[in-house]
Amino acid sequence: MQEITVPSDFVVPDKASIVDSMLRHREESPNKALFKRRTDSGAWADISTKDFADLVDAVAKGFIASGIGPGDRVSILSATRYEWTVIDYAVWRAGGTTVAIYETSSSSQVQYIVENSETSLLVVETEAQKTEHSPALAEAASLKETLVIDSGAIDELKKRGEKVDDSELDQRHANTLSSDIATLVYTSGTTGKPKGVALTHANFLHECHAVRVTLGDLMSEGSSTLLFLPLAHVFARIISVASIVHLVQLGHTTVGPTLMDDLAAFKPSYLLSVPRVFEKVYNSAKQKAEDGGKGKIFGKAADTAIEYSKALETSSGPGLVLKVKHKVFDALVYSKLRAALGGECTSAVSGGAALGARLGHFFRGIGIPIYEGYGLSETTAAVTVNAEGAQRIGTVGRPIYGQSVAIADDGEVLLKGPVVFGGYWKNEQATAEAIKDGWFHTGDIGTLDDGYLSITGRKKELIVTAGGKNVSPAQMEDAVRAHPLVSQALVVGDNKPFIAALITLDPEALPGWLERHELPADTPIADLLEHKDVLADIDDAVNTANTLVSKAEAIKKFRIIDTDFTIESGELTPTLKLKRNVIHDSHADEIEGLYTK
């Protein structure tokens, strides 16, 4: 068994909690601008460490007045916003445990999480969410009430807590142990019922220290980032906590029509995202260039960026001619892309899924290196990460401080260290299956090379063709999605004679494509499924992807379908991963048609 351990002498005291840094900042630097919050006018206003901590205290008192005791669970169902972080910290300040629920969860999922976690109080974002989920929650015995952020939940909690003395908060804080469960994060549930990952204060504090050491300036005072990933996901959550610990200025928004405007106005110094968002940034820029008749220029600029990035990994570095080309395209293309991200973004962090070497080289080539990492809910986010000066594109980096990574004989990635959880909430069987001999079995397949981890697939996602060939679909799907006209791709072929794919079209790319092909702007997607030019474009995407694999792994046939895979349809997780079993069920006829027609 291959194994690598990166040692650390960092120790989390028994009497420590996530809120310690918040209280320390209020005492030592009360006027430090810890947050920026968008006002009703659209401007971004500073919020100091003192204002944040004072609000957290007031809300925490409200939780205490509402009957929340030490260890009691409070669930949050909301989009990413400032109030999410306030409530999160207020629950911890009151000695409770936060349960994170995705805003896109169905009523049955919300019911399961609330009942399984024995939630006492639920905070949702909107009245519509309360109305939607209330019938399913009517029988939840533990749930005492539901509060709504948009209907004044914060003010209501502040009012309730007016008579709670500060000494009660201090006592709860004094009684909190680093081994106490800080949060339950339920797995995305691509298969089966979600499991509650129990993460302690110590898990978070070890992760915060490790990412600070590994990422350096990104996690230092003076840096800033705009959160737009769901705070219900551990990736965004740890960045939120680590930013507060290390005085990195935070803003909140969501993935939507205003995201690029928010980035331009907020001007983050670094970004964190899942690969699909970086992919959309690239594809949108490419599509915009093609729509403006500058597609060839963008293509050459992209090729130069990738070539330049690859040259950085050679002993000689980029040559003179490449440097000149790179400088020209920096003025014509790269600088405009950086400006679109606020103009001050110098790097990014990617996680949640495989980024792919193509995107990694492109963004490093334009001056925004993406430090790809790897982790799961069970590891409090990153357990390996690429770092400045030690980046190897195409890998997910080396273990962060204090962590161990091993590759089992069957290729499975095993993890051990203080960021790894201790078990699933009230699920001893699942815990015993996941943690064996002290090692967490991830279910991912990977390799180690000079300490750098590469993820090649998931055990449960491996396709075994009728000919006995094992195929990991993720690499092919990533390559097909690189085409601007493609939104999603699902590779299939389990127990089938060959590999095939379902492909969806990107609705954002279609208007420009229709105009270039002199087709009416209102042409339905259904009319394009067999259009010769669409088929030719998708065929190009598939052929390019096929160059990356053997003939036995290549896509032999594809079908374009007229509906995209979305979170709302239940075919994507909140972090934009394919729910393969759901898609296989909902598109069974189309998949079968690939092999019968």
Give yes or no: residues 360 and 467 share one domain.
no
427 part of a folded domain: yes
Of residues 383 and 570, more confidently modeled: 383
**Predicted pLDDT at 133:** 97
**Average confidence (pLDDT) over 396-400:** 96
Residue pair 274/236 in contact by the 8 Å Cβ criterion = no
504 with 368, same domain?
A: no
Structure tokens belonging to residue 547: 């160059």
Tell me, yes or no, whether 7 lies in a domain: no
Give CA 580 to chain center in angstroms: 18
Highest mean pLDDT among 261-270, 301-310, 495-504: 301-310
Q: Quickly state the pLDDT bin for 39 (edges 50, 70, 90).
A: confident
If asked whether residues 261 and 279 sit together in one domain, one would say: no
What residues have CB less than 8 Å from 531, skipping those under 6 apart? none
Which residue among 431, 458, 485 closes a domain? 458
Under 8 Å between Cβ of 36 and 268: no
pLDDT at 246 over 90: yes
* Structure token digits, residue 232: 């219900």
In terms of domains, do 391 and 487 share one?
A: no
Q: For tokens 């130069």, what's the residue?
A: 304
CA-based nearest residue to 197, from 110, 93, 98 = 98
- Of 395, 427, 458, which closes a domain? 458
CA 489 distance to own-chain centroid: 19
Which amino acid type is present at position 532?
K
Which CATH number does the domain housing residue 86 bear?
Answer: 3.40.50.12780
Residue 444 lies in a domain: yes
Say how far apart CA 591 and CA 597 lie, in whole Å.
10
148 and 173 fall within a common domain: yes
pLDDT higher at 541 or 467: 541
Can you give the length of the chain in residues? Answer: 597
- pLDDT number for residue 189: 53
Task: Please check whether residues 232 and 302 belong to one and the same domain.
Answer: no
The string of pLDDT tens digits covering residues 295-313 is 999 999 999 999 999 999 9
Diameter of the chain measured on Cα atoms: 73
Give which of 585, 532, 581, 582 is closest to 560, Cα–Cα.
532
- Verify that 382 and 420 share a domain, yes or no: yes
Q: What is the dihedral sign for C-alpha 163, 167, 172, 178?
A: positive
- Residues 6 or more apart whose CB falls under 8 angstroms from that of 440 comprise 378, 379, 414, 415, 416, 420, 421, 434
pLDDT digits (tens, 9 = 90+) for 63-97: 999 999 999 999 999 999 999 999 999 999 999 99
Q: Is residue 185 one of the residues assigned to a domain?
A: no
How confident is the model at residue 354, as a pLDDT? Answer: 79
Judge if 454 and 484 occupy the same domain. no
Which residues 6+ apart lie within 8 Å of 537 measured at CB?
A: 483, 485
pLDDT above 70 (res 521) = yes
123: nearest Cα among 200, 168, 114: 114
Last residue of a domain, one of 236, 268, 300: 268
Same domain, 524 and 431: no
CA distance 276 to 282: 10
pLDDT of residue 192: 61
pLDDT of 162 higher than 80? yes
Residues 393 and 470 in one domain: no
Nearest Cα neighbor of 237 from 575, 589, 581, 479 is: 575
Output the pLDDT for position 459.
78
Distance CA 596, CA 303 (A): 39
Residue 433 lies in a domain: yes
Task: Show Cβ contacts of residue 181 under 8 Å, excluding neighbours closer than 6 positions.
Answer: 71, 97, 198, 199, 200
- 164 pLDDT higher than 60: yes
Residue 297's domain comprises 273-458
Instruction: Identify whether residues 567 and 536 lie together within a single domain.
Output: yes
Give the helix ranges, DSSP H, for 192-294: 201-215, 234-245, 259-266, 275-291
Is there a domain that residue 570 lies in? yes
What number is the average pLDDT over the span 578-592? 90
pLDDT in tens, 331-379: 999 999 999 889 999 999 998 877 888 899 999 999 999 999 999 999 9
Say what percent of the chain tops pLDDT 70: 99
Residue 199 resides in a domain: no
- Which amino acid belongs to residue 68? I
Helix, strand and coil content of the chain, in percent to the nearest 5, comes to 45, 25, 35
The pLDDT value given to residue 232: 94
Q: What distance in Å separates the CA atoms of residue 63 and residue 147, rounded to the nearest whole number?
A: 11
User: Could you tell me the two tokens for 137?
Assistant: 């929650």
Which amino acid would we find at residue 513?
Answer: W
d(CA 287, CA 89): 42
Whole-model pTM: value is 0.86
Instruction: Say if 6 falls within a structural domain.
Output: no
As given in the structure block, the two tokens for residue 401 are 């401080």
Residue 82: which residues within 8 A CB-CB, separation 6 or more?
A: 35, 37, 47, 252
Q: Are 406 and 515 found together in one domain? A: no
Categorize the per-residue pLDDT at 188 as very low, low, confident or very high, splitting at 50, 70 and 90.
Answer: low
Question: What is the domain count for the chain?
Answer: 3
Return the structure tokens found at 420. 């790894």
**Of 24, 150, 131, nearest in space to 83 by CA:** 150
Residue 517 maps to which CATH number?
Answer: 3.30.300.30
Give pLDDT, residue 499. Answer: 93
The pLDDT > 90 percentage for the chain reads 74
